[in-house]
Amino acid sequence: NAGVTQTPKFQVLKTGQSMTLQCAQDMNHEYMSWYRQDPGMGLRLIHYSVGAGITDQGEVPNGYNVSRSTTEDFPLRLLSAAPSQTSVYFCASSPSGTGGSGANVLTFGAGSRLTVL
Amino acid sequence: GEDVEQSLFLSVREGDSSVINCTYTDSSSTYLYWYKQEPGAGLQLLTYIFSNMDMKQDQRLTVLLNKKDKHLSLRIADTQTGDSAIYFCAERNTGGFKTIFGAGTRLFVKA
């Protein structure tokens, strides 16, 4: 059981380039999300999805695009990278999007460190 | 909007107790969480507490919740060097699609 897998672990881009961060989970979780982690600012939610075909914006969605064509995959696209997008990106999933009867604990990937020059 | 605040640093001696504090603004928070992040890794759940509880204990960890003051704390008894990490407080409300995180408290444990 791999959990949440993110690729790549490290990436360096030039300003204006585009790229996709991949995220896959094998736990049949309905809910998937992307956060970015910056020093002193904690984790900020970029986009999330409550199921295949459904996505929505978080706190800091500008400059990022997502899609959810399958339950397992939730890629994050940077359309035109900017130095302000230098960060560590985490994908996280949980059994469902709403509370239901459980705590809906997030399972995190190991992170992808992105540097934009 | 929802906000979660915690101090950025805490330093303790090995064997002492550590207390990490957190305040949140969303009075409809249903679940409050503590996650741990070790260097170069993702976050892992340490423990969580449901909003109708005041306290939860799990081995060396004690979580206290004061709903009136919207204050959450994590106590680590007999702190070890292996406890050195960043600890994140987080909250989510029933039916909410978002888990909101604090900035994280970096715990330094001195031998």
A23 touches chain B (CB under 8 A): no
- Closest to A108 (Cα-Cα) out of B2, B80, B33: B33
Nearest to A42 among B45, B50, B104 (CB): B104
Q: Looking at residue A90, what is its pLDDT?
A: 97
Does residue B32 surpass a pLDDT of 70?
Answer: yes
Cβ contact, residue pair B97, A99, below 8 Å? no
A104 touches chain B (CB under 8 A): yes
Which of A88-92, A99-103, B68-72, B78-82 shows the lowest per-residue confidence on average (mean pLDDT)?
A99-103
Using a pLDDT cut of 90, give the percent of chain B over it: 72
pLDDT band of residue B92 (cuts 50, 70, 90) is confident
Three-state DSSP at B78 gives: coil
Q: Nearest residue of B to residue A98 by CA position?
A: B95
Q: Which residues pair with A10 in a beta bridge?
A: A113
Chain A residues lying within 8 Å of B48, measured CB to CB: 103, 105
CA distances from B79 to A89, B22, B42 (A): 29, 19, 21
pLDDT band of residue A103 (cuts 50, 70, 90) is confident
Does residue A34 surpass a pLDDT of 90?
Answer: yes
Chain B residues lying within 8 Å of A7, measured CB to CB: none
Interior angle at CA B37, CA B74 and CA B25, nearest 5: 50
For the CA atoms of chain A, what is the radius of gyration? 14
The nearest CA of chain B is from the CA of A98 a distance in Å of: 5
Using a pLDDT cut of 90, give the percent of chain A over it: 85
Question: Most B CBs within 10 Å: which of A106, A107, A113, as the mutation test of the B interface?
Answer: A106
Nearest to A105 among B45, B93, B102 (CB): B45
Enumerate residues 48 to 67 of chain A having a beta carbon within 8 A of any beta carbon in chain B. Answer: 48, 50, 56, 58
Cβ contact, residue pair B42, A110, below 8 Å? yes
Cβ contact, residue pair B31, A99, below 8 Å? yes
Q: Looking at residue B95, what is its pLDDT?
A: 66
Question: Most B CBs within 10 Å: which of A4, A25, A54, A108, as the mutation test of the B interface?
Answer: A108
Chain B residues lying within 8 Å of A33, measured CB to CB: 99
In sequence order, what are the residues at sequence separation of 6 or more whose Cβ sits closer than 8 angstroms to the Cβ of residue B64? B54, B55, B72, B73, B75
pLDDT band of residue A97 (cuts 50, 70, 90) is low
